[in-house]
Structure 1
Amino acid sequence: MRIRQARAADAAAIADIVNAIIKDTLVTFTTDERSNESIAKDIEARGRGYLVAEQEKQVLGFATISPFRSGPGYAQCRELTIHLTPDAQGQGAGRALIAALESDARKDGVHVLVAGISSANPGAVAFHTALGFEQVGRMPEVGRKWGKWLDLVLMQKIISGE
């Protein structure tokens, strides 16, 4: 398995991963599927902030970082997103993606990474905890999908010593 920068050619594989999550799970609150074109634009816009894990030329998952909030006071804070195929979970791809993302973020002067996790995804809370993230908040019933109210669990990790 290797971690590399995402390319526009990865958009279809990424769309397959994320759209299955959107359609079939409560991991994300959105119901709007992503097009290959919108993902390709995101890859181009984020540059080094968009990574994929691949094995034998097959995309196993992806991780991105984006601004947490607007305004200069939040310039050193980024929100991360990570999704894997079901077969890749528990195989080290997630840990490798986060490690590479953190390394790139440090080079870019990022101080804090934030993860917003659906309360319907306790495995993601455990995963982030194992990687040094701490739960810093819980926003009850801010998401709604399939007629269910869902909490948003906020986790963060300070990645720079400054």
Structure 2
Amino acid sequence: MSSARQEPVTRPATPEDAAGCRDVYAPYVRETTVTFETEVPDVEEFAGRITRALEHHDWLVAELDGRVLGYAYAGPVKERAAYRWSCEVSVYLAPEARGNGLGRALYRELFTRLEARGFRRLLAIITLPNEASVALHRALGFRESGRLERIGFKHGRWLDVTWMQADLGPDPLAPPAPPD
């Protein structure tokens, strides 16, 4: 008898995934400088974030046996109309889900969906140091486009962030149709 290893399923998020996403995110808030949030958002806030992301961008979860192991989402870079072809992206994984390609798989699916919606630029804002995140983004075609020094203060120290960006679409210079 073969014991095939079960793989996580990637699917669009729903507001009902809020608790699972919050559980993945909470250790990043409490224990790291990966996010500049200092209080873990409640489930209601997370449900609102998912709902807002799904209106114009996207939010995906990876789950196994009904448990959220990670998620990736996109949101606006800025509110001005000229930014409408660009979006900020993020990915978060539960500790036991790291190092197995799940972040890359979530991002690839997210990017495919964003491209289909008309987006042409991706932006990732990464707190430094975070070599794993920088390496993931580089592997997916991102390049460093700026750095803000001592921009955030968390866990008793000033932190830098790097801005990384990547292009989407067959011709990143062609004028696109507006995203839906």
Q: TM-score normalised by the shorter chain: which range applies?
A: over 0.9
2:109 matched to which residue of 1?
A: 100
Q: Which residue of 2 aligns with 1:25?
A: 32
Q: What does residue 177 of structure 2 align with?
A: none
Structure 2: gaps (5+ residues): 1-7, 175-180
The question of 1:39 aligning with 2:75 is answered no
Alignment pair present for 1:84 and 2:93: yes
Report how far residue 74 of structure 1 moved. Answer: 0.5
Q: C-alpha separation between the residues in 2 aligned to 1:120 and 1:58?
A: 29
Q: Secondary structure at the match of 1:4?
A: strand
Q: For residue 72 of structure 1, report the CA deviation from its aligned partner.
A: 1.1
Q: Does 1:14 align with 2:21?
A: yes
Select 1:5's aligned residue among 12, 27, 38. 12
> Which among 52, 57, 72 is matched to residue 61 of structure 2?
52
The answer for the alignment partner of 2:141 in structure 1 is: 132
The amino acid that maps onto 1:82 is: V
CA distance in 2 between counterparts of 1:56 and 1:134 reads: 36
1:61 counterpart letter in structure 2: G
SS at match of 2:160: strand
Q: TM-score, normalised by structure 1?
A: 0.96
Superposed displacement of residue 37, structure 1: 0.4
CA contact (8 A) 2:24 2:68 kept: no
**Partner Cα distance (2:19, 2:109) in 1:** 22
Distance in 2 (alpha carbons) for counterparts of 1:154 and 1:25: 19
Give the Å deviation of 1:45. 2.0
TM-score (norm 2): 0.86
| Separation (CA, whole Å) in 2 of partners of 1:2 and 1:96 | 10
- The equivalent residue for 2:80 is 71
Give RMSD over aligned pairs. Answer: 1.1
Q: Highest CA radius of gyration, 1 or 2?
A: 2
Deviations 1:57-84 (A, max 9, x none): 2211011100001111101000011100
Alignment partner, residue 4 of structure 2: none
CA distance in 2: counterparts of 1:32 and 1:139, whole angstroms: 23
| Shift of residue 92, structure 1, vs aligned partner | 1.6
Q: Distance in 2 between matches of 1:37 and 1:55?
A: 23
Letter paired with 2:48: K
What is the count of residue pairs matched by the alignment?
162
